[in-house]
Chains A and B, each alone.
Chain A
Amino acid sequence: MSVTVQSAIEDLADVERVLAGDVGAFEGIVGRWQGPLINMAWRYCRDRGRAEELAQEALVRAWRRLASWRRESSFSTWLFALAANVYRNDLKRFPVVNLPIEDIAEPSRAADQQSRVEEKSRYEVVRRAVLALPKRYREPVVLFYFHEKDVAAAAQTMGLPEGTVKARLSRARELLRRRFPQFEKHAGMETASAGKEAGV
């Protein structure tokens, strides 16, 4: 039996027990979904403490509204959609980045002997730039990569048609490409210098 099917069975059993009045049964659900929910929240805000707070709020909200899960979709689909709603509303009230994407500086050219730490920090600039995208393009990007590049899953979480998500993703990528025109060039140089060092 696959992990997904096993998890779905366990989710269903735990939901039935919680609805029957056993609060403790929700612990199984929290245990299975805390990691994904925190990681999803992290992609929305890139702040560990806030990600845990948001995930906790999403789980509490899920517990309160458990009876509204109609079993038409999987429990995880319902949970992610609810969590996305919680995260979206919270970020609307307390935005993470107030800068427009045009004001995000492109990372400076890397030195040849650049360390992995520096490379990581340059990647982080790009990841943070996602949070500066206009609202309608930000969430499709966040959820597309959270769902391991699954457009259908991202669309289900947002409650939007797949075509809309694809179009917004394409526009978001275009904005990122325009914002970081030099990035690929530098990356190419890094790869070349790394190759030289390795004697390739």
Chain B
Amino acid sequence: MTDKRIDAILGTEEELVPSSGFLASVMERLREEAAAPPPIPFPWKRALPGFVVAAGVMGWGAVELVRFIGPAMAAVKLSPPHVSAGLARPLEQAGWVAAALVVSLVSYLVSRRVAG
């Protein structure tokens, strides 16, 4: 198929004529929207104390968690496998890269899910 042929097929479409009630239905929808009361704004002033309290509780919870887990972790003696000094640094960097990749993947999946 040549470009000329493609142009001939795709360039010649029959014009659709809007159905008789189209204009009226658009205008009806607009009038309904115009008559509807404006959306209620989010009550930031009222919600602000709630946000502050929630943030405080979460911060306090995090502090308590660290205080609880800290001594428990200190009691556990971890014996990491022996690696030579030359390998330790690249392994540590690779760990950070892997962690960053996991975080990126999770945020990508979450954003896709939210965007729906």
Residues of A within 8 A of B (CB): 23-24, 26-27, 30-31, 34-35, 38-39, 42-43, 48, 51-52, 55-56, 59-60, 63-64, 123, 126-127, 130, 141, 145, 148-149, 173, 176-177, 180-181, 183-184, 187
Contact = CB atoms under 8 A, between A and B. Distances in A.
Interface of B: 1-3, 5-7, 9-11, 13, 15-19, 22-23, 25-27, 29-31, 33-34
B10 A180 contact: no
A141 B1 contact: no
Contacts of B30: 23, 26, 60, 63
A78 B30 CA distance: 19
A183 B61 CA distance: 71
A51 B6 CA distance: 23
25 contacts: A34-B18, A35-B18, A38-B16, A38-B18, A39-B15, A42-B13, A42-B16, A43-B13, A52-B19, A52-B22, A55-B18, A55-B22, A60-B30, A63-B30, A126-B1, A126-B10, A145-B10, A149-B7, A149-B11, A177-B1, A177-B3, A180-B1, A184-B1, A184-B2, A187-B5
Nearest to A130: B10
Contacts of A176: 1, 6
Determine chain B's interface SS by DSSP, over half rule.
Answer: helix
Nearest to A144: B10
Contact of A30 (B3, B17, B19, B23): B23
B16 A173 contact: no
Nearest to B23: A30
B15 to A, nearest CB: 6
Contact of B5 (A35, A52, A183): A183
A56 B10 contact: no
A75 B16 CA distance: 22
The 6 residue pairs across chains A and B that have the minimum distance between CB atoms: A183-B1, A145-B10, A34-B18, A180-B1, A23-B34, A123-B9
A23 B17 CA distance: 24
A31 B20 CA distance: 11
Contacts of A26: 27, 30
Nearest to A56: B26
A151 B105 CA distance: 39
A30 B27 CA distance: 8
Contact of A34 (B3, B9, B22): B22
Contacts of A63: 30, 33
Contacts of A180: 1
A127 B10 contact: yes
Nearest to A18: B30
Contact of A56 (B13, B17, B29): B29
Contacts of B34: 23
A148 B6 contact: no
Given A123-B9, A127-B13, 9 more contacts: A23-B31, A26-B30, A34-B26, A35-B16, A42-B16, A126-B10, A127-B10, A149-B11, A177-B1
